Chains A and B, each alone.
Chain A
Amino acid sequence: MVGHMAPDDKKDGRKDPIDEHLKRVYDEVLQEDVPDRFTDLLNQLRQQDQSKSGGKA
């Protein structure tokens, strides 16, 4: 089977309820605020790099 279309393309134009649910479930997490622990972590990693290499980008 040749599958070059996007997975949820339907020839008759109907939306697939599974895709709708899937996206909704996924989008809910996408819209959550990213917990501070991650931005803190990134800051930490950046600072570690800078102190190790003396300011190398």
Chain B
Amino acid sequence: MSDAPDPREEIVEHLPALRAFAISLTRNHATADDMVQDTVVKAWTNIDKFQAGTNLRAWLFTILRNTYYSNRRKAKREVADVDGVFAESMSEKPAHDGHLQMADFRRAFAQLPDEQREALILVGASGFAYEEAADMCGVAVGTIKSRVNRARAKLAELMHLREDEALEMTDSATMSVVSQRVAG
């Protein structure tokens, strides 16, 4: 067992995913990277708490989200310090039909409550199972599922509204029909 890999050497492989998760939580590039930095230091110095053979990424994500929520508690406020990373991508080239939807998705996504956005990212984007996500968030599996469902419902609602507005912008009569259809 003497050539078992040092999990600390694997941390670098998880940095892109950690950054993506951090940005989805904080919606601010600078804050996210600071948080990832804190996470790396904590993980490194507490590596003895990591059980070899278990999911290192999940462990790192858990440290990161604990850092985020404890910072949030200290700040005693949840100010959306959105610098546009998730609200709007600077690098995104306008696609003929996808652009508006992506911009609206980003805006809608940034508006979700932290716990819902986090659940959606863990389960929908990072590829964790519901059970893993529940473990990492310290809640029941049912809670994660409910957060994911609420997040998706909210996003669908916001995006459909925008989609319809984009399509029917010049026709107010159609708009009233569209609003009725969405509300129905």
Check if A and B associate: yes
Residues of A within 8 A of B (CB): 1, 3, 7-8, 17-19, 21-32, 34-35, 37-39, 41-42, 45-46, 57
Contact B20 A26 (CB under 8 A): yes
| A-side interface mostly | helix
Q: Is B23 an interface residue (CB 8 A)?
A: yes
Instruction: Assess the B12–A32 pair: CB atoms within 8 A.
Output: no
Q: How far is the CA of A10 from the CA of B40 in the complex (A)?
A: 37
Residues of B whose CB lies within 8 Å of any CB of A are 6, 8, 11-12, 15-17, 19-20, 23-24, 33, 36-37, 40-41, 44-45, 86, 89, 91, 101-102, 105-106, 109, 120-121, 123-126, 130, 145, 148, 152, 155-156, 159
Majority secondary structure of chain B interface residues (helix, strand, loop or mixed): helix
The answer for the CA separation of A42 and B36 in the assembled complex, in Å, is 12
Interface centre among A27, A45, A57 (most CB of B within 10 A): A45
Among B6, B121, B155, contact of A57 (Cβ-Cβ < 8 Å):
B6
Chain A residues within 8 Å of B120, by CB: 22
Closest to B127 in A: A6
A37 contacts B33, C-beta separation under 8 Å = yes
Pick the most buried of A18, A23, A42, A46: most chain B CB atoms within 10 A of its CB: A18
Given contacts A32-B19, A37-B37, contact A18 B155 (CB under 8 A): yes
- CB pair A34 B15 closer than 8 Å: yes
In Å, the complex CA distance between A19 and B33 comes to: 25
The reply to whether B23 and A38 contact each other, CB–CB distance below 8 Å, is: no
For the complex, what is the distance from the CA of A23 to the CA of B120, rounded to whole Å?
10
* B24 proximity list for chain A (CB < 8 A): 25-26
